[in-house]
Chains A and B, each alone.
Chain A
Amino acid sequence: GENVEQHPSTLSVQEGDSAVIKCTYSDSASNYFPWYKQELGKRPQLIIDIRSNVGEKKDQRIAVTLNKTAKHFSLHITETQPEDSAVYFCAAFNAGGTSYGKLTFGQGTILTVHP
């Protein structure tokens, strides 16, 4: 089945710096890659997603890149702010065969932005 590895597990940056979180996946049948942000004590919420027919997507300070050949995708946050502090999860959606519909998450990255 699909395996999603996420790195780093913790990331500490100064306000205004950039943050990059990387994920790799194993199943070439995966074709949808969302990123969720979970603040302390809250439910996960989508911040950005990308489909396999697109290499990059941007939404203000947040961007995601996808390399299908290497099976990895990354989240980029620029000009970080203290309110960006949260746990971030990547995920891969399986669109093929008997696992169609399965969504596999990475282990999560705790991002801390210091003022």
Chain B
Amino acid sequence: EAQVTQNPRYLITVTGKKLTVTCSQNMNHEYMSWYRQDPGLGLRQIYYSMNVEVTDKGDVPEGYKVSRKEKRNFPLILESPSPNQTSLYFCASSVTAATVLTFGAGSRLTVL
């Protein structure tokens, strides 16, 4: 089944404890991206990747890192999480940029 898989789906952590949210797609998509969703603010793009080894900042990249070493994987790294990073995170991919995004199921992160 064609899908975007993110893990973990739920995570409660503490301030400063490094964590990684994994994202993997099995559709050979070139474009991958991360979003955070907060009430009243919609979806805000954190980082995006046009292809392997190519990553760019979205609108809210502060406090996050990404890498794209393989086409299928696009992990989101929070090196020192803070409470303001408590949010619902979505990974998404598409065949190329400016085409239909397929979203993962979301990862709800709470930073205490």
Contacts and interface: CB of A to CB of B under 8 A. Distances in A.
B31 A101 contact: yes
13 contacts: A43-B105, A43-B106, A44-B101, A44-B103, A93-B98, A101-B50, A102-B45, A102-B58, A102-B59, A103-B45, A103-B58, A104-B45, A107-B40
A78 to B, nearest CB: 23
Contacts of A32: 98
Nearest to B31: A101
B44 A44 contact: no
Interface in A24-80: 31-32, 34, 36, 43-46, 49, 51
A11 interface: no
Nearest to B104: A43
Contacts of B106: 43
Nearest to A32: B98
Interface in B25-39: 31, 33, 35
A105 B42 CA distance: 7
Interface in B14-71: 31, 33, 35, 40-45, 48, 50, 56, 58-59
Interface string A91-108: 101010000111111111
Nearest to B4: A43
In the A-B complex, the 4 residue pairs with the smallest Cβ-Cβ separation, listed nearest first, are A43-B103, A32-B98, A105-B43, A107-B42
